[in-house]
Amino acid sequence: MDLLDAVRGCTFDDFLLAPQLGVLPSRDPDTVDLSARFSEHLTLERPIVSANMDTVTRAATAIVLAEEGGIGVIDRGFRAGDIGPQIAEVAAVKRRQHGVIGDPHAIAPERSVADALRVMAETGVGTLAVVDGTRRLAGLLTERDVRFVRPDATVAERMTPRSSLVVHTGAIGLADAERLMIERKVKKLPLLNPDGTLIGLVTARDLIKQKQLPFATRDAHGRLRVGAAIGATGDYLERAADVLRAGADVLVVDIAHGHSDVMERALREIRRRFPDAELVAGNVATAEGTTFLVDRGVNAVKVGIGPGGGCSTRLTTSFGVPQVEALVRCRLAAGERVPLIADGGIKRDGSIAEALVFGGDTVMLGSAFAGTDEAPGDIVMKSVLDSESQKIVKVPFKVFRGMASIGAVRDRLDLEEAAPGELEAIGAEGIEFSVPARGSARAVIHDMLKHLCSAISYGGARSLQELRRQFWANPERYLVKLTAASRTESFQR
């Protein structure tokens, strides 16, 4: 069977997959290998990615995604030249969890308790390292040390001094740190250079967190991983430098038409300045587009022209490729050289399994996470007719919008600076609508993973990788092309 011929003009709802002999002992996501390559040097335990959209991924969403084994990409939907807000989001993810805190918040011993309280409130951190002018550790100060204390008392008067602390000289692995902390019955372990200067801090709270979230996506220091979108024009190089400095693990050059001269120039400059940065680029939907990006040194390709829930590109331009065909085309071109991110068009959990067998190593979702607690944006109450009671009820909603929608573009433009007529000249390729508010993204992810495990079981595989391998070895065994009637039977409820 020629797979590409079989999927021409098709997307997720054009197919079902035929059930195979089930061999998976348990569908519990804790026991099934769902690991997937996000990019060449970054593997996730869960193949789920949240889209870089300003109504989807800021720190709160990215934290949940990474804690649950996926990754979030912080959007660049901040005004051009205004890089600070995106940096703050990246930094908030990186500070959320630690193995070893490399740069603990610190205060000088001669400062006042009032100052310490202010630093604690500003940073949200309950323990400050007390260091002198040469960063030598003088003690530790916790919230408990400063509660109900004269605000003009000094930090030195209230801290636990260095002589009463258990410290470790040099670097230490997390397992050894844990052993030492249990043995010495301490909740904090400062790490020092031989000269007494502070190099890090391990806390029991962080160690416990690491164990509670066994699938979390973490860097070498135990911090959650996060991606950052940078664009391909304007401030993109400065933005790239700043987000990398803030700890972003991967740069995402995301433009509507990734197979373009603009992209070529951007990739050349980015690779010249940041040769080692993990780099994802897109979007493309053809073999030529994929090869174009791979040949220019990207570490993963984002696939999807027009399938997105907030997208109107196909309506306004008639360009695009149905997402299943796009994934097959791009997979055939990429081979195993770089991973593909299947971006957009997921409206039901079943499509995730399809995106992952047809070519995606991971799947990127926007609208699926819209309306969750973690998605940016305020809740608005809307009056809705309840069909059962025929009464008007107030229901909480959140706004979801395409990044090329007029609202999103307007917010990115500095209106003071924008030339008159600039707004009118924008051809919007995105739409805006409200979606019902619906609880935490964590629950959404858990459901997706359960359904993916069930799909693996129906597919006669023991892991996600095995399902994909088996599908590509013999697609005919799996592919069920739907008619209009069988589509209605399958998806209309």
> Binding residues for ligand XMP, per CB under 6 A?
51, 53, 256, 283, 304, 306, 308-311, 313, 343-346, 364-368, 402-405, 429-430
Identity of residue 423: L
Q: Which residue is nearest to ligand XMP (CB)?
A: 430
Runs of H (alpha helix) within 42-196: 59-67, 84-96, 113-123, 143-146, 155-158, 174-184
Residue number, 131 or 256, with CB nearest to ligand XMP:
256
- The minimum distance between CB 197 and ligand XMP, in angstroms, equals 44
Residue number, 136 or 438, with CB nearest to ligand XMP:
438
DSSP letter string, 330-376: HHHHHTTSS-EEEES---STHHHHHHHHHT-SEEEESGGGTTSTTSS
- The minimum distance between CB 39 and ligand XMP, in angstroms, equals 16
Read off the DSSP letter of residue 9.
T
10 is catalytic: no
For tokens 């797979």, what's the residue?
Answer: 3
Residue number, 299 or 367, with CB nearest to ligand XMP:
367
**For residues 303 and 345, what is the distance between their CA atoms, to the nearest angstrom?**
11
**Torsional sign, CA 29, 34, 38, 40:** positive
- The minimum distance between CB 170 and ligand XMP, in angstroms, equals 44
- The minimum distance between CB 385 and ligand XMP, in angstroms, equals 26
- For 463, other C-beta atoms within 10 Å of its C-beta total 15
**For residues 371 and 397, what is the distance between their CA atoms, to the nearest angstrom?**
7
Q: Which of 280, 326, 332 is nearest to 301 (CA)?
A: 280
Residue number, 408 or 461, with CB nearest to ligand XMP:
408
Residue number, 71 or 189, with CB nearest to ligand XMP:
71
**For residues 134 and 157, what is the distance between their CA atoms, to the nearest angstrom?**
20
For tokens 């129906």, what's the residue?
Answer: 458
Which whole-number Å values give the CA distances from 339 to 46, 95, 281, in the listed order?
A: 14, 28, 11
Read off the DSSP letter of residue 97.
-
Whether 119 and 90 have beta carbons less than 8 Å apart is answered as no
Point out which residues pair with 139 in neighbouring strands.
130, 161
Strands 279-284 and 36-39: unpaired
**For residues 405 and 191, what is the distance between their CA atoms, to the nearest angstrom?**
49
**Torsional sign, CA 106, 108, 111, 112:** positive
Q: Which of 10, 311, 330, 453 is catalytic?
A: 311
Residue number, 55 or 97, with CB nearest to ligand XMP:
55
Residue number, 181 or 403, with CB nearest to ligand XMP:
403
Residue number, 196 or 320, with CB nearest to ligand XMP:
320
Identity of residue 347: K
Buried b (16+ CB within 10 A) or exposed e, 77-87: bbebeebeebb
Q: Which of 316, 307, 249 is nearest to 280 (CA)?
A: 249
Q: Is 172 helix (H, G, I), strand (E, B) or coil?
A: coil
- The minimum distance between CB 281 and ligand XMP, in angstroms, equals 12
- The minimum distance between CB 256 and ligand XMP, in angstroms, equals 6
- The minimum distance between CB 159 and ligand XMP, in angstroms, equals 48
- Give catalytic residue positions: 311
